[in-house]
Structures are given as structure tokens and as C-alpha cells.
Amino acid sequence: MSDVDVLASVLTKDQALVSAVNPEQLGAPTPCPEYDVRALVNHIVGWLQVFAAGVNGRTFDGDPAAFVSNDPVTDFQTAAAETVTGWRSGGVDRAVRLTGPELPGHMVLAMTLMEYVTHGCDLAAATGQAVPFSDEELAITLDRARATLPDQYRGEGKPFGSVIDVPEDAPVLDRFLGFMGRCPRHG
């Protein structure tokens, strides 16, 4: 399974998670202390539009941190399709610009996988849904995260939490969550 195929599957599963959010859950807390469910959904949808623009050679107009969607399911579906199409038509072996300097395409694809598997897990936890990702999707994303996520982006005030030690024989979901700085869901 190629990384683009993994991303397509992950985004389809994330869309189902977003679709299943009930209005009464929007104010519920998430594993991201700065986001309730509403803010997490807006973050997920807003940043997917940034990724869609970047992989298709466009610039996202606006501030993804301030993005608010009136129709998150449709906005997510549109951005997901554009993102996957952009990777399939443009390939991974190229530079991609998101909001800063150009980055290697394989790194941007790895970042996209990390973002959408991690926040998919966050949304599932916050809304009482099952984590939908397969062990293969989790293992591939964990491998990409280990290869591309340096320690300087971890800790207080940074995009990612510190690694939580999880035994290597733990389920891949727990190992992924621990690497991404989330408390594993299973003992």
C-alpha cells in the first residue's frame, strides 16, 4: 500500500468521524487541551484545506487557525479529494509549500498522515467513537512520524507533546499514540 493510498483511506475514515459528531458534542473536551470538539473539527478541516492547496501548487488564502466551517463534512470531503488527487497527479518526489518554505513532498505527506491519524484518534476519543484506523495504517504512519518528527517540535508550547514511553510489544495504536505524545487508550 503506497503512502498516498494510506492517506486516502485515513481521510475517508476521518470524514466518517467528522460526519458522526453530534451537535451536543461540539463543546466536549478533546485530548488536545486547547480544543473542544468544535475547535478540533475546524482545525482538521482548515488544515486539510492548507494541505489541499499546497499539494496542488496553490496558496491557502486565510489563517487556518481562525478557520470556521459552516459545513465541515462537505468542506472536509472536498479538501480530502483535492489532497489525494494532488498527490496522485503530482507525485511525492517534489517540493511542496504549505505556509512557509518549500518542503520535500515525502515530508509533507508524512506530516499529513501524522496530522490526520492523530487528530482522527483525538476526535474518536472525544466523541466516543472507535478508532477506525487499521494496524497497517497506524504502523505506516508511526514509521513516517519516527522518520520526520524531530524533538525540537515537542514539549510545552510546541505542536507535539513529549513522547510517552510505551513498550514495543504494545498494540500499534498505543505505540502510535505514545509517540505522538498522547496517552495510550489501552493498557
In this prediction, residue 1 carries a pLDDT of: 87
Residue 115 placed within a domain: yes
Nearest to 81 by CA among 15, 3, 134: 15
Give CA–CA dist 173/162, Å, rounded: 17
Residue 20 placed within a domain: yes
In this prediction, residue 187 carries a pLDDT of: 41
Give CA–CA dist 109/115, Å, rounded: 10
Cell of residue 34, nine digits = 486547547
- CA distances in angstroms from 48 to 14, 28, 52, 108, listed in the order given: 11, 22, 6, 12
In this prediction, residue 183 carries a pLDDT of: 84
Residue 134 placed within a domain: yes
Nearest to 109 by CA among 93, 127, 126, 131: 93
Residue 28 placed within a domain: yes
DSSP-assigned beta bridge partners for residue 160: 154
Continuous segment of H or E residues that includes residue 16: helix 3-19
Domain residues for the domain of 172 are 3-179
In this prediction, residue 185 carries a pLDDT of: 66
Contact between 179 and 145 under an 8 Å Cβ cutoff? The reply is yes
Helix axes 37-55, 3-19, angle to 10 degrees: 150
Residue 24 placed within a domain: yes
Q: pLDDT (tens digit, 0 to 9) for every residue of the chain, 187 residues total?
A: 899 999 999 999 999 999 999 999 999 999 988 899 999 999 999 999 999 999 999 999 888 889 999 999 999 999 999 999 999 999 999 999 999 899 999 999 999 999 999 999 999 999 999 999 999 999 999 999 999 888 888 888 777 888 999 999 999 999 999 999 888 865 4
- CA distances in angstroms from 28 to 40, 65, 74, listed in the order given: 10, 19, 22
Residue 72 placed within a domain: yes
The H-assigned helical ranges of 91-171 are 105-127, 135-148
Q: Report the phi/psi class of residue 130: left, alpha or beta, with left for phi > 0 and alpha for psi in -120 to 50.
A: beta
Q: Check which CATH number belongs to the domain holding 136 and give it.
A: 1.20.120.450
Looking at the 3D structure of the chain, how many domains does it have? 1
pTM listed for this prediction: 0.94
Residue 18 placed within a domain: yes
Residue 187 placed within a domain: no
